Amino acid sequence: MTTKAPSVVKPAPTESLERIAYGSVAGIPVDEPHDRDRLGYHLFLWLTHRRDPLEMVVRAACPRMPISEKEALERIRQYLTAHGVQL
């Protein structure tokens, strides 16, 4: 059995939707890191399709957070508007 080094991961450009989506949830405290990843993925889908309101997207991700959903939405909206996303 041999051990190989992991593949090199090329980070996404700073203006890409992936970076904006995951950056918007980076400062939100969650109980487990997977909750933040799931929330970031849902926001990425919202940025690409924009079918539902942002409130429904956060609720659908079901993140376990020590802060309220309202506060998390405020933080996400602030980040998105600061990075040029039209809400």
Could you please report the per-residue DSSP string of 25-77? TTTS--SSHHHHHHHHHHHHHHHHH--S-HHHHHHHH----SS-HHHHHHHHH
In a domain, 73, yes or no: yes
pLDDT tens over the chain, length 87 residues = 678 888 888 888 888 999 999 999 999 999 998 999 999 999 999 999 988 899 999 999 999 999 999 999 999 999 999 999 888
In a domain, 69, yes or no: yes
Return the exposure string of 20-41: e unless at least 16 CB atoms fall within 10 Å of the residue's CB, then b. bbbbbbeebebeeeebbebbbe
In a domain, 5, yes or no: no
pLDDT at 67: 94
pLDDT at 66: 95
The predicted model scores a pTM of: 0.84
In a domain, 6, yes or no: no
User: What is the extent of the structural domain holding 29?
Assistant: 17-82
Q: Based on the structure, what is the number of domains in the chain?
A: 1
In a domain, 46, yes or no: yes
